[in-house]
Structure 1
Amino acid sequence: MAGPLCIITGVGDATGSATVRKFISQGYRVAMIARSADRLQALADQHPGAQAYACDISDLHTFETCLTRIEAEMGVPRVLVHNAVSHSFGRFRELDPLEIERNFRVNTTALLVFARFFADKMAASGGGAILATGNTASHRGVPNYALFAPTKAAQRNLCEALARDLGPEGIHVCYLSVDAAIDVTWLGASDAERPSWLVPPADWPHAREDFFAHPDGIAAEIYHFTHQHRTTWSFETTIRPFAEEW
C-alpha cells in the first residue's frame, strides 16, 4: 500500500469532499465515512486511492465495526479528521431534549471512540494527527444553539484533553474552528429556504461567494494544521472570511 492513510468522518458535499481531494492530491490514501453510500462511492470513483465506508457513526458499535474494517483493509492511519456533525437549530423550549444526546454522541462520543480506537496504534507507528472541525459554538452559547453549542464545547474540551495526553506520544491533536457560513446545499437550495445566517445581507458590499468560507480553503487549513512541524504545534486555530464581522 503506497502513501499514508487519512480517515475522514462526515464526508459530505462541502468540507468533507474538499478534504478528501486535498489529501489525495498530497499522496494520501483516504478512507471516507458518511451515511450516504451513493455519494461516497461516486467520490471514490473519481479519486483512486479513496475508499467508501458507509456508516452512521451515531451507532457507536457500528462505528467501531467500520473502523475495524478500515484497519484490516487499509492499515493504521497517519491522520484522523472528525468532520461529522449532528446539529439542532432552535431554542430550548422548541426542541426535543433527546436531540442534545444525539448531537453529543456524534460530535463528542464518536470522536472519543475514533481516538481510542487508533491512538495506541498511531503512537506505535510513529505518531500522527487527530483533528476535529468545530465552530464558534464551542466557545459560546446562543439561544438558537441551545442543544448544539454544549456538545461542541464538550468536543473542544475533549480535544484539549487528548492533546495534552497524546502530544508527548507524538500525536498532534488540534481543533479547527470555522467562524463562517459554509455554502452547503443540505441547508436549502436557495436563499429563501436557508437560515438567515446562511444568506448574505442585502447591503453586503462584496461578491456573494466572499460571504462564505470556501470548502477548498478549509481543506487546505486542515491539511496544514495536521502537518505542522512538531516543535511548533498549535492546538486551536480560528478561520473566517476576510469580511466576516467578529
Structure 2
Amino acid sequence: MKPTAVVVGVGSEEGLGAALARRFAKEGFHVIVGGRTAEKIERVVKSLGDGNSTAVQVDATKEEDVLRLFQTASAPGEGKSPASVVIFNAGNNQYIPFRELSGEKFEDFWRVGCLAGFLVGREAVNLLLPQGTGTIIFTGASASLRGRPGFAHFSAAKAGLRMLSQSMAREFGPQGLHVAHVVIDGGINGTKLKSILPGILDQRGLDGLLNIDAIAETYWQLHLQHPTAWTHEIDLRPFKESF
C-alpha cells in the first residue's frame, strides 16, 4: 500500500506547500494537496505527475471543508493507505498598524493562523490515533515567538498555533503521534514574498532567504525521527539572518 501525506496550505508551485508536496511525493507518498485556489493546487498536482497526488480545494477555516478533506485522507483510493502524515502550512501575513487594525481583520488572521490549525490538528489526531502512529507538523514563523510593531494580529495567531502544537504534543506524543512545530525565522524565497517585496531577492541575495526545498527537507527529516529522539520544535533561518 502506498503511504499518504496531507499538505494543507498549498498555493503557488514556488511556495513552501508545493515544495513539501514534492518532497513527500519523491519518497513514494501519495500527496493530498489542499489549498483554497483550485487553479493553483491543480498546477501543483500536475507537476507531481500522474497518480502521485490528489487536489482538494479547502478553506481550512471552515469546519465542513476540513471534515471533507479528511474524508479523502482516510480513504485516498485503491492501493493507498490512510494518511500517516499531516502538515499544516496555511497562513497569511500583512503589516497593519495597531490603531488601524479592525476587530474583523484581527479575527480573520486568527482564523487562518490558529483556528484552521486547530481544525486540521483535531482531525489529524482523529485519523492517526487509531493507527497508533503518525506525524503532524505545523508551520510557524518568527511571530510565533515575538511580536513586532504592526504585526500584533499575525503574532497573536502564530503564538496561538504554537501553543496548540505544544498541547497536542504533550497529550498525543505518549500515544505515538509525533507533533512538531517549525519556526520559519526569515523570509522564504517563494512567489508570495517576491510579489509583496519585488526587490527583496536583489537586496538580500539567494543566501539571505530560506530556500523552499531546504525547508521541505527538514520536514521530511522530522518525519523520519525515531520516537526515542523526537524534536517538537525547530527553528530555521538563513545563515545571514540575525536572531
TM-score by length of 2: 0.90
- Aligned residue for 1:129, secondary structure, equals strand
| Mapped pair 1:210 → 2:207 | yes
1:91 CA drift (Å) = 1.5
Give distance in 2, aligned partners of 1:70 and 1:120. Answer: 11
* 1:56 is the counterpart of 2:62: no
Distance 2:241 2:186 in 1: 7
Q: TM-score, normalised by structure 1?
A: 0.89
C-alpha change, 1:45 and 1:6, in structure 2 (3 Å) is same
Residues 195 and 42 of structure 1: is their aligned pair in 2 closer, same or farther, counting only changes over 3 Å?
closer
Paired residue secondary structure (1:7): strand
Q: For the Cα contact (< 8 Å) 2:109–2:157, is it kept in 1? A: yes
Listed one character per residue, the Cα deviations across residues 138-192 of structure 1 (whole Å, up to 9, x for unaligned) are 1111112111101100000000000000001100101000111012323454xxx
Aligned-residue RMSD, C-alpha: 1.9
2:172 corresponds to 1:166: yes
Q: Out of 174, 189, 194, which is 1:183 matched to? A: 189
**Runs of 4+ more than 6 Å apart:** none
Contact kept in structure 2, 1:88 and 1:99, CA below 8 Å: no
Check whether the contact 2:73–2:83 (CA below 8 A) recurs between aligned residues. no
Letter in structure 2 aligned against 1:223: W
Q: Which residue of 2 aligns with 1:104?
A: 110
Correspondence for 2:46: 45
Task: Specify the SS of the correspondent of 1:147.
Answer: helix
1:241 counterpart SS class: coil
| Structure 2: tracts of 5 or more residues without a match | none
Q: Deviations over 1:198-231 (max 9, x none)?
A: 4664xx6xxx111110000000011111221110
Give unpaired runs (5+ residues) of structure 1.
none
Aligned to 2:236: 239
Report the CA distance between 1:71 and its aligned residue.
Answer: 2.4
Whose helix fraction is larger, Structure 1's or Structure 2's? Answer: 2
Q: What does 1:191-230 correspond to in 2, within 5 Å?
A: 194=197, 198=200, 201=203, 208-230=205-227
Matches within 5 A, 1:59-208: 59-74=62-77, 76-189=82-195, 194=197, 198=200, 201=203, 208=205
Question: Deviation at 1:95?
Answer: 2.4
User: Deviation digits for residues 35-65 of structure 1, max 9, x if unmatched?
Assistant: 1111211221222311100112222222222
Give the deviation of 1:30 after TM superposition.
0.5
Tell me how many residue pairs correspond in the alignment: 236
